[in-house]
Amino acid sequence: MKKHNFSAGPSILPGEVFAEAAEAVRDFNGSGLSILEISHRSEAFSEVLDEAHQLVRDLLNLPEGYQPLFLTGGASTQFFMVPMNLLLSGEKAAYVDTGAWASKSLKEARRFGQIDVVASSKDDGYTFIPKDYTLGSGYRYLHITSNNTIYGTQYRAWPEVDVPLVVDMSSDIFSRPLGDVSRFGLIYAGAQKNMGPAGTTLVIVREDLLRHALGELPTMLDYRTHIAKKSAFNTPPVFPIYVSMLTLRWVKEQGGVEAMERRNLAKARLLYEEIDRNALFRGTARREDRSLMNVPFVLERPELEQDFLAFCEEAGCVGLKGHRSVGGFRASIYNAMPIESVKFLVELMQEFERRFS
């Protein structure tokens, strides 16, 4: 049976990427070696890294002075690497709290400087993106989380502030154009939503923000270490970077992030329209801040929750159970999710309504 995987991550990737990656595990580019065993110092892998870096530059229109890096440790490591690298002693940064991951990032950042929460939607269950706040003076950067996987909210416009934006884009990187990249000081994103398998993290940093004296930071936690060695200071996660490169190549072939945005808008519109129409279901995020990547919803009759999950799983729709902290359901519809799968889920919701309304 064909499975429609709505998991929040690790998520699905394009079928073409799965096929090419699977072949590379057996024989990488006709070399007689697996991608899993080639040297990370070989010319073959250097070409993979170079292409991956260039694809990031091309797809996001990075200006001069921005360096893309493929690191390890997930976005959670960036929660402390960001302030460690961007804040000098006595400096402060502003954070907006829009969910679980934003909250964790500011907790880690407080180890390295004064961190002020300038806006939060916590008291309202993280159901919206705060907009009506004023940023005071003296901040080195403003940190936001662009898309909130658990609560299903997403920035539809970037904050207009006079300091660099630092953005955790783990769950919506490459899903839409960024606009004027010069407003960003640093972007980071775990691969396992829209870019590749778990195991590598993309960081894009504006070099002129790195002001520590060489040697002040631990070598592995200094972005300049990885810039100098082009993401290969130590043994990098070869396979996750390779699959990420394949995925970025696929995004470019589909028409780039502009094409991804059109596809994602169509999928999200289809699903939200059914949630709003169907008498049994209700969305949880405010309409103006609804995510195009993660769609949380609940049943008006909670006693039917397990029935709906079983009904979907029997039909081949998996990964719909909501995060344990909020319950309900969550359909993650990242770049590689075909609209046919969303249509299938909508049909299941309609059939469930006929049976139980």
Cite the active site residues: 101, 168, 193
Cα gap 29→27, rounded to integer Å: 6
Phi, psi of 111 (to 5 degrees): -75, -15
Residue 48: which H helix or E strand, with range?
helix 43-60
Which one-letter amino acid corresponds to residue 234? N
**DSSP 8-state assignment for residue 158:** -
Instruction: Please tell me whether residue 78 adopts helix, strand or coil conformation.
Output: helix
Instruction: Please tell me whether residue 221 adopts helix, strand or coil conformation.
Output: helix
- List Cα–Cα distances, 355 to 25, 121, 155, 307, in angstroms: 46, 37, 36, 11
- For residue 106, give the nearest of 134, 90, 87 by alpha carbon: 87
* Both tokens assigned to 90: 């006595």
- For residue 141, give the nearest of 160, 107, 164, 158 by alpha carbon: 164
